[in-house]
Amino acid sequence: MCGIAGQLRRGGEAAEEEVVAAMCAAQAHRGPDSRGLHVAGPVGLGIQRLRVIDLETGDQPVYNEDGSVAVVLNGEIYNYAELRRDLQRAGHRFSTKGDSEVIAHLYEQHGTECVRLLQGMFAFALWDQRRQLLMIARDRVGKKPLFYSHHSGGFSFASELQALLRDPRVPREVDPAAIDSYLALGYVPAPETAFRGIRKLLPAHVLVIRRGEPRIERYWRLDYATKRGFDSEADLHEEIRTTIRAAVRRRLVADVPVGAFLSGGIDSSAVVAAMAEQSPTPVKTFSIGFAEEAFDELPRARLVAERFSTDHHELVVEPNAVELLPKMVRHYGEPFGDHSALPSFYLAELAAGQVTVALNGDGGDESFAGYQRYSSNLLAARFEKLPSSLRNSLAAAAARREPPRTGGNRLDRVLRFASRLGGDRESRYLAQVSVFDRAGRAALYSPEMARAVAGHEAEAALLEPWRETSGSDLLDQLLEVDSSVYLPGDLLAKIDVATMAHSLEARSPLLDQELMELAAAIPAAQKARGGQRKIALRGALRGWVPDEILDGPKQGFELPVASWLRGELAPFAREVLLDPGAAERGWLRPAAIEGLLDEHRLGANDHGKRIWSLLTLELWARQVSDPALEPHATAA
């Protein structure tokens, strides 16, 4: 893993080596082992390298034979050995033994189409001196981040926002539309960022600038429309197991110690099972737990660790973990409201003391249908046979009942489900994944903020991909939207920042290209139906992963945020959110925030996730975004 940065100056002006070096320094935690710079004419490329493969000769930038093509890479190319052999047969000569140099020679053979041949997690930049062409690219799923800005001085890019902002020409104006998106989803969805003049490159996209003219193209997407038939369930299960084993095998290639994050869930257990088969020594596994039994997965993680005889390590996170929040907020660089980011930071710190690479189970839910919302949406779709007037009446009656109490008993869950029956499929999905809905955000905003975001549709970040889905089945539509928006915007950003903050490389076998394409091709009914989820994956893992894991309830990597914000963290949250400085910023109404805090404290409603999202927003604003949002700003 690494951090990359660079600039392309406008009008042939010389690139600024000191600026590129400063951008690298701001993300030195991503790659503390070496720094490399290529500054020639209008272009400057920089890299902070974490040495994982080819420790002796693999420092970057890397070049083609005559030095006319320069590359910096963040990530790993898993099929580099096969590509290297093919390129050598075609006459290319290599000066390193690692994966990054493959990109330079592959570009010579295939031009910008070279990205289609790469399998892995990557964000890279390539400069072609002869053609005066800059190319930046991001991997298919969005495992590695890439931020960029077109500005008065030209074009700049970096792996992290904080690094990009070291270029003084990059604008720092906060984008109120992005704050609106954040409060809707709990993260800022690509291509937006929290800053008006900065964008994220979307997953599976390349951006090419030749002689000052930029173009962006998508090079890959999952196909949910084309389904495969399998001779038997046994054949399907065998293919899933074989593909998982191959995905894990590719991600075990390293010249440094490798371990695994083990949550005790199905996905990470499958990864550890495949690692144990292929590792000559006990796999090092790392788990995080909580004192609150309802959130603690340590017993299940120990069960898996014992089954596969791993070298297991644990840490229990306490409420005083709030001390980590300011540091965590700085690393994300923009508002990020997923509270599981906090235990992810602790997990990364725990693992980084013993390994340099950690495999995880990310992606299993989005490929094989693991979330509860998939089942509830499939069930709700069955009610569409009822007259709309009846569904609307049921929804209205449920909505009139008092808000659900903390803990969500069965009646609460039934009422929540019934309250959504009157809407369409898209609105039901939005209700499940939103932090603040439109009405909730409107109640929060000051008059100035309301004017600033007028006309902005935060929900479009989900609705537009929904309308472009390739599959016709509701489940496949849900999976495709989650894979293209929620997965890279929330889960992958969370783990990338948490691990890179500790100079740790995270690899995700279940996000392997071949495995994801296989999962997309499986008929929807074989992934989820009725109340059953992950049907195909559970069947494939039966007899390989302990039954207690396969048959136990899903327990996400959740923080006991609701109880913490009624207990030890309540004074801290109130102090931060009702601070006079927050009111002076002019974004949110203090009375609305105080109402949320009071309702939560009294148990009238569970606003834990909302309060946490507001808390991280305010801490971010203090550290990153001040001065305050201009009242006259308008949403772009």
Distance CA 88, CA 197 (A): 42
Instruction: Quote the CA–CA distance of 57 and 100 in Å, as a whole number.
Output: 11
CATH number, residue 263? 3.40.50.620
Choose the catalytic residue: 1, 2, 77, 262: 2
Per the structure block, which two tokens stand in for 116? 């289609």
CB 19 within 8 A of CB 44: yes
Packed helices 341-352 and 493-500: angle between N→C axes, nearest 10 degrees:
40
Per-residue pLDDT tens over the stretch 466-507:
999 999 999 999 999 999 999 999 999 999 999 999 999 999
Tens digit of pLDDT for each residue in 360-385?
Answer: 999 999 999 999 999 999 988 888 77
Q: Which residue has the tokens 């046994």?
A: 234
Whether residue 133 sits in one domain with residue 15: yes
Does residue 635 have a pLDDT over 50? no
Please tell me the distance from the alpha carbon of residue 227 to that of residue 524, in angstroms, as a whole number: 9
β 311-317/357-359 pair status: unpaired
Q: Are 471 and 477 in contact (CB under 8 A)?
A: yes
pLDDT digits (tens, 9 = 90+) for 232-274: 999 999 999 999 999 999 999 999 999 999 998 999 999 999 9
Q: Is the pLDDT of residue 625 over 70?
A: no
Q: Which residue has the tokens 């709990």?
A: 186
Cβ–Cβ < 8 Å for 258, 252: yes
CB 31 within 8 A of CB 48: yes
pLDDT single digits (tens) 318-327: 777 778 888 8
- What is the pLDDT at residue 504? 97
pTM of the predicted protein model: 0.94
The token duo for 395 is 């929804």
For residue 304, what are the domain limits?
233-366+484-551
Partnered with residue 314 across adjacent β-strands are 287
SS3 575: helix
Could you tell me what percent of the chain has a pLDDT over 70?
93
User: How much of the chain is helix, strand and coil, in % rounded to 5?
Assistant: 50, 15, 35
Q: What is the pLDDT of residue 297?
A: 85
3-state class (DSSP) for residue 112? helix
CA distance 150 to 127: 17
In this structure, what token pair is assigned to residue 196?
A: 């008006």
Instruction: Let me know whether 197 and 249 are in one domain.
Output: no
272/199 same-domain check: no
Residue of 613, 582, 574, 299 lying closest to 435 (CA atoms)? 613
Q: Is the pLDDT of residue 627 over 60?
A: no
Interval 389-420: pLDDT, tens: 777 677 677 666 645 444 456 666 676 776 67
Paired strand residues for 317? 290
Helix axes 80-89, 100-110, angle to 10 degrees: 50
Our answer to whether residue 2 is catalytic in this structure is yes
Work out the mean pLDDT of the chain and round it to a whole number: 92
Q: Pick from 535, 551, 567: which residue ends a domain? A: 551
Evaluate whether residue 307 is within a structural domain: yes
Per the domain annotation, does 470 fall within a domain? no
Question: Is residue 334 included in any domain, yes or no?
Answer: yes
Same domain, 189 and 321: no
- 202 domain-assigned: yes
Same domain (yes/no): 63, 167 = yes
Give Cβ neighbours of residue 460 (< 8 Å, ≥ 6 apart).
none
Co-location of 338 and 275 in the same domain: yes
188-228: pLDDT as tens digits: 999 999 999 999 999 999 999 998 889 999 999 999 999 99
State how far Cα 260 lies from the chain centre: 18
Task: Let me know whether 358 and 499 are in one domain.
Answer: yes
Cα–Cα separations (whole angstroms), residue 18 to 8, 45, 63: 14, 11, 22
Query: Where residue 421 falls among pLDDT bands split at 50, 70, 90?
Result: confident
| 585: its two tokens | 């910023």
Q: What CATH number does residue 129 fall under?
A: 3.60.20.10
**What angle do helix axes 176-185 and 460-467 make, rounded to 10 degrees?**
70
Distance in angstroms between the alpha carbons of the first and the last residue of the chain: 34
Largest CA-CA distance found in the chain, in angstroms, rounded = 73
Question: For the chain, how many structural domains are there in total?
Answer: 2
Other CB atoms within 10 A of residue 326 CB: 12
Does some domain include residue 561?
Answer: no
Co-location of 503 and 354 in the same domain = yes
Which strand (E) or helix (H) includes residue 45? strand 43-49
Same-domain pairing of 197 and 268: no
Domain boundary among 519, 551, 583: 551
Quick check: is 156 in a domain?
yes
Closest CA to 285 of 312, 308, 249: 312
Q: Quick one: residue 129, left, alpha or beta (phi over 0 = left, psi -120 to 50 = alpha)?
A: alpha
Is 130 strand, coil or helix?
coil
Handedness of CA 395, 399, 401, 405 (dihedral sign): positive
Domain for residue 330, yes or no?
Answer: yes
Q: Is residue 419 part of a domain?
A: no
Q: Which residues pair with 45 in a beta bridge?
A: 6, 38
The CA distance from 440 to 497, in Å, is 29
* 272, 153: one domain: no
Same-domain check for residues 167 and 239: no
- Sole residue written with tokens 């189409």: 113
* Beta-bridge partner residues of 133: 128, 210
State how far the Cα of 322 lies from the Cα of 329, in Å rounded to an integer.
11
Examine the pLDDT at 631 and tell me if it is beyond 60.
no
Name the nearest CA neighbour of 435 among 291, 616, 601: 616
Residue 535 CB partners (closer than 8 Å, separation 6+):
369, 526, 527, 528, 529
**Separation between Cα atoms, residue 437 and residue 420, nearest integer Å:** 13
Q: Which residues contact 526 (CB under 8 A, 6 or more apart)?
A: 236, 535, 536
Query: Which tens digits make up the pLDDT trace of 175-192?
Result: 999 999 999 999 999 999
The rounded Cα 576 to chain-centroid distance in angstroms is 27
| Domain final position from 507, 522, 551 | 551
Domain shared by 492 and 350, yes or no = yes
Q: What is the DSSP letter of 287?
A: E
Strand-by-strand arrangement of the 120-128 sheet: 62-63, 69-77, 120-128, 133-138, 205-210, 213-218
556-603 pLDDT tens trace? 667 788 999 999 899 999 999 999 999 998 999 999 999 999 999 998
Q: Express each pLDDT in 278-300 by its tens digit.
A: 999 999 999 998 877 777 789 99
Q: What is the DSSP string of 31-87?
A: --SEEEEEEETTEEEEEEE---S-TTT--S-EE-TTS-EEEEEEEEETTHHHHHHHH
